[in-house]
Amino acid sequence: MANTTSADVARLVICGSMRVWDNMREVQETLDRWGIYSLIPDTDAIAPHASVDELHEAKRAASMKHFQCIQDTHTAAVLVVNVDKEGQANYIGPNAFAEIAVAVASGRRVYLLNSIPSAYSDELQAWGARELHGELDTLAHEMRDTTPSYAHAS
């Protein structure tokens, strides 16, 4: 069997509020230990002393890059790290909701680390979002069983 690279396997794109980036990184590290290839948002593009306009442009560029990762044919699913934030249970912010919409429109599976927040319950249930209730095992099993469609091309 040939060596497997990240380009040869289905990947997972991790989404969530940038205020919970550390949680996203922890999830990525766990999945990596389990052999699941995943991507998290790039935070390097945002300069610490940028102007408001520069921050908006950096955020726009980072969002567009993450949307492209979601739409990429190598991506099988997205995982939204929707932890409790600022008194809101299972928080999903506007950017993460937009990422979910891009994933659904691109035919990608959507997983939520925790439960569906009530504010988005109708849409997320209609779109087939899967609640993991904090358990990554189901996701890891399903990702291991995913063979990307491009892998069958000769």
23-33 pLDDT tens trace = 999 999 999 99
Q: What is the edge-to-edge ordering of all strands in the sheet holding 109-112?
A: 38-39, 11-15, 75-80, 109-112, 130-131
| Domain extents in the chain | 6-149
Average pLDDT (10-35) is 92
Q: Which two tokens stand for residue 92?
A: 């999903």
From the number of C-beta atoms within 10 Å of its C-beta (0-12, 13-18, 19+), residue 147 rates as exposed
Per-residue pLDDT tens over the stretch 58-67: 888 888 999 9
Query: Looking at this protein, which amino acid is placed at residue 59?
Result: K
Helices 94-105 and 52-71 cross at an angle (nearest 10°) of: 30
Confidence of residue 47 (pLDDT cuts 50, 70, 90): low
Q: Is the pLDDT of residue 50 over 80?
A: no
- Tell me the average pLDDT of the chain: 86
Read off the pLDDT band of 42 (50, 70, 90): confident
The CB density around residue 146, as the number of other CB atoms within 10 Å, is: 17
**Residue pLDDT, tens place only, 112-142:** 999 999 999 999 999 999 999 999 998 988 8
Phi/psi for 85 (5° steps) reads -145, 130
* Its pTM surpasses 0.75: yes
Task: In whole angstroms, give the CA distance from residue 135 to residue 52.
Answer: 38
Q: What is the pLDDT of residues 70-117, one digit of tens each?
A: 999 999 999 999 999 888 999 999 999 999 999 999 999 999 999 999
Q: What is the CATH code for 6-149?
A: 3.40.50
Residues with Cβ within 8 Å of 31's Cβ and at least 6 positions away in sequence, in order, are 12, 37, 38, 136, 139, 140, 143
pLDDT band at 7 (very low <50, low <70, confident <90, very high): low
Read off the DSSP letter of residue 117.
P
